[in-house]
Amino acid sequence: MMSPKPIEHLDMRFKLNDNWLSDLYYMAQQAEGDEKKLYMKMHTEMMNEYKAGKRMSHTYSLETIVTEVKPNPEAVGFEFVFLANEGVASSGDIFMANVRNNQLGVIIGQRTMGAGGNVVGYSPLDFSHGYFRMTESLLYNKKIHGGKPIENLGVEPHLYVDTNINRANNFSEIIKVAQHFITDHGEYSSAMAHVQAFKAGLCNLFLRRSLH
C-alpha cells in the first residue's frame, strides 16, 4: 500500500439475490480460517435480510472484506500525483476515492466515471436475444459525497484539466500540468525522481483505457 498508516476505507452494500448469496457461499467453502468465518457470517446475515424481504444488504466496510490491504512502513518520503479522467472506473473509482479520503496524493484531470460497483450480465432474456448488465453492489463514500454512492458521481480531481481535448496527443498537456505542479510545489518536489516511472505506469493504466 502507498501509506505507512491504516487508511479509511469505503463502505459497500450488496444487492440481495442469488448471485451474491451463491458467490459468498462458494467463497466460504474455498476459504480457510478467519476468511472462511467472515464469508459465512456475511452469507448468514445477507440470507436473513433476503428472507426478511430487503433488497439491499446493510453496510459493510471494505476494511472487513479486503483484509489484505495493510499499511506499508516503507511508504515514507513519497508524494504522489495521479492523472484521471472519465475512463477511470470500478476499482479505479475506489482507488481515487481512497487517494482523496486519505490524502495520499493530488489528483489532476477530470471526474472519474462513477462506476463503483460490480456489474453482472444477464443473457439471454426470455423469448429474445436480449442482453443487459446490472450493477449489483454500491460503494459509499462518507467523506466526499456525504454517504452517497460513488455510482454516477465519481471522484472529482483536486485540479481540473480538460483531458478530452488532449486525446489526439496522448494526453501530453495534462502530463505537463502534473510535472509543473510537482516542480512548483515544494512539498511535492520529492516525487520528481519518480515522474518517469509514474508516467509509464499510472498514466498508461488509467488514461489509455479511455482510448479503446
Q: Which residue has the cell 502530463?
A: 175
State pLDDT tens for residues 94-112: 899 988 888 888 888 899 9
Domain with 17, as residue range(s), is: 11-65
State pLDDT tens for residues 22-64: 989 999 999 999 889 999 999 999 999 999 999 999 999 988 8
Closest to 155 measured CA to CA, from 206, 89, 204, 208: 89
User: Same structural domain for residues 101 and 188?
Assistant: yes
Q: Is residue 1 part of a domain?
A: no
Q: What is the pTM of this model?
A: 0.76
Amino acid of residue 203: C
* Distance, CA of 210 to chain centre: 16
> How many structural domains comprise the chain?
2
Q: CA 183 to CA 32: how far, in whole Å?
A: 48
Give one DSSP letter per residue of 24-60, joined into a string: HHHHHHH--HHHHHHHHHHHHHHHHHHHTT-SB---E
